[in-house]
Structure 1
Amino acid sequence: MKLESGMERVVLVTGANSGIGLALCERLLSHDAQLQLCLACRNGQRAEAARQVLLVSHPQAHISLVQLDVGSMRSVLRAAKEVRDRYNRLDFLYLNAGIMPNPQVDLKAFYKGLFSSKAIHMFSTGEGLLTQKDAVTSDGLQQVFATNLFGHFLLVRELEPMLCRPNSSSQIIWTSSSNAYRSAFSLDDPQHKHGKEPYSSSKYASDLLSVELNRRHNSQGLYSSVICPGLVMTNLTYGILPSFFWTLIMPIMWLIRIFTNTFTLTPYNGAEALFWLFKQKPEALDPMAKYHSLTSGLGNNYTLPHKMDVNHTMAEALYEKLLALEDTVRKKLQKEDHGSKA
């Protein structure tokens, strides 16, 4: 049975049980207590814990859960069906879940940059500092690519009927990164099988995908935007260096924020651009811009757009490659299902 949403907006957030995702949910409910919020998370127990946290401050809120592992295409298809069965509309789809597995810091580059004029840029973007060790999923996909990009792409494809509605508009909002570099991405290797920066590659690919979604679907009322949360202290960030190190340098980072607006530091601040986009008219947004969460030295939050280093030709080419991969993955899953029934 579908939930009748009436005029209440329906919002789905992936990776909603902690960090920026949970902070966003809190801010959304504080702004609009009537919306229907769906937390799409991999871990059911953590999702329920997040739901209870939100209900403490918003006891009348409409909060539901969907188990979703965006790194598993079977899980994506199952979750999408559940969402379609549950709701008759979808107004906001926040694609926030992501991973950076086994991050490795180039200590030589770190210490060199720490005492240079590029220290703030290094901390803000991780450029030249971070590499990751990727893995392969049960679907035969590179794990970072599958989780940060392709699983979300497949989710969008499955939910298109709910997102593209006559006489209405909906928004897809991607949590990207300042670490999204064109130099890390290649159309010849979109899964980044042969590189050491799969996270950066996947985030740049999400920027491209957002641009192409707008070209294809704006006329159907579907709009896509990309945000950068700034430097935020989350579980993902804490995994980069030992916890004692973050404890040592945290006072320095708060001090550095006097000189830069990209050190948002807290999940609440990092969610600023995500929340800001919730309040905008999507047709007035720049499809070629990345919206940055920024925090002044005095702790004031605001959002500013910056042009992305993307072009339509590359965006279209990536989309076509993803469509072809989608077809391959669907056939593989169907063959597996056929084999299990035989």
Structure 2
Amino acid sequence: MGVSAAEEAVGSEHFRRRLGCAKMRKVVLITGASSGIGLALCKRLLTVDDGLHLCLACRNMGKAKAVRAALLASHSSAQITMVQVDVSNLQSVFRAAEELKQRFQRLDYVYLNAGIMPNPQLNVRALFSGLFSRKVIHMFSTAEGLLTQADRLTADGLQEVFETNIFGHFILIRELEPLLCHSDNPSQLIWTSSRNARKSNFSLEDIQHSKGQEPYSSSKYATDLLNVALNRHYNQQGLYSSVVCPGTVLTNMTYGILPPFIWKLLLPFIWLLRFFANAFTLTPYNGTEALVWLFHQKPESLNPLTKYMSATTGLGNNYVTTQKMDLDEDTAEKLYQSLLELEKHVKVSLPKADPWS
């Protein structure tokens, strides 16, 4: 049977509408999407809107493929792609940026979530001393005075924690500017920061924290500073930045601090602490509360000097709270200029055979 002109017109219109819907999908890029906070965020965002185009930015593509298959099994209407990126390797970052610019016309959300805390060493004396002090809740909430890390240099000649947690992401943002800066429809950067971000562990004279023992704390404070500077330089171009703290979450990162049997011993005590402090989110699902909340906010309404915190009540109810960050815009600007100078240096020093040279 033939198709009438009217039926053909209706079919064409239906096709155009479907095509238009596909073009209107919000594109969300998440670094570190294959485990922990990143994986939980993928699941929650797809539950909120399974019409997203979710791009998993992962170092291990084997894990990324397994995550993609699992997500599609429960959200068949979602569009999920992958890009290989190791933010501790600048060549990988540049290659990923080029690939993303070939695939997409814009990115609506970029969750800068990948991060490391290598070889954490626990100060056992401080731990047991803190257990019987008035600062016990603060100690467990922030890990202040508890942890040191042994950092190392990467193949790029940079401190590994600094490059992974902040500089690799900074370069990624800079390279993706054409996809992020659209004044007609703002894009959002959402950083995973920490309560462990402390001013006392950061120095403008040593932004890579090569001379200290708490590079994780330094990198997270630098993240908070960079967030402020990015808003200052990019808001007028339609790009907004926010920082989030997921709270005290038990992930592969935290399990590396203590042997599993000690975590089992401490867990009842930590659950009890939830009735006195809201920072003990414990699970990756709970830890993503603020990251998902920001997905629904108008970026223009957010305060760049505020950290958005995932919180959980003693009975396990999730909510979002805020904290004014202990920083100043002058220091933020100086860090930003230092990162720009470092960007120039690495672009000159990287092998000329690479496509961005």
C-alpha distance after superposition, 1:178-207 (max 9, x if no partner) = 000010000000000100000000000000
Structure 1 unaligned residues grouped into runs of 5+: none
Q: CA deviation at 1:166?
A: 3.4
SS in 2 for 1:90: coil
Question: Residue in 2 aligned with 1:136?
Answer: 153
Which of 318, 322, 341 is the equivalent residue of 1:324? 341
Which of 227, 242, 246 is the equivalent residue of 1:229? 246
Which of 278, 296, 307 is the equivalent residue of 2:313? 296
C-alpha distance after superposition, 1:131-158 (max 9, x if no partner) = 0000000000000000000000000000
- Paired residue type of 1:267: P
Alpha-carbon distance in structure 2 between the residues aligned to 1:332 and 1:83 = 24
Q: CA deviation at 1:334?
A: 3.6
Question: Residue in 2 aligned with 1:261?
Answer: 278
Of 114-123 and 184-193, more deviation after overlay is shown by 114-123
Question: What does 1:85-96 align with in structure 2 at a 5 Å threshold?
Answer: 85-96=102-113
Question: What does 1:1-342 align with in structure 2 at a 5 Å threshold?
Answer: 6-335=23-352, 337=353
Alpha-carbon distance in structure 2 between the residues aligned to 1:90 and 1:174 = 15
RMSD: 1.2
Alpha-carbon distance in structure 2 between the residues aligned to 1:146 and 1:260 = 32
Alpha-carbon distance in structure 2 between the residues aligned to 1:55 and 1:112 = 48
Q: CA deviation at 1:301?
A: 0.7
SS in 1 for 2:244: strand
Q: CA deviation at 1:262?
A: 0.5
C-alpha distance after superposition, 1:25-44 (max 9, x if no partner) = 11100111111000001101
| Structure of greater Rg | 2
Alpha-carbon distance in structure 2 between the residues aligned to 1:251 and 1:54 = 32
Q: CA deviation at 1:235?
A: 0.4
Alpha-carbon distance in structure 1 between the residues aligned to 2:66 and 2:134 = 43
Q: CA deviation at 1:174?
A: 0.2
Q: CA deviation at 1:216?
A: 0.5
SS in 2 for 1:202: helix
Task: Decide whether the 8 Å contact of 2:183 with 2:236 is kept in 1.
Answer: no
Alpha-carbon distance in structure 2 between the residues aligned to 1:283 and 1:10 = 19
Alpha-carbon distance in structure 1 between the residues aligned to 2:271 and 2:346 = 45
SS in 2 for 1:310: coil
Q: CA deviation at 1:251?
A: 1.6
Alpha-carbon distance in structure 2 between the residues aligned to 1:124 and 1:137 = 30
SS in 1 for 2:197: coil
Structure 2 unaligned residues grouped into runs of 5+: 1-18
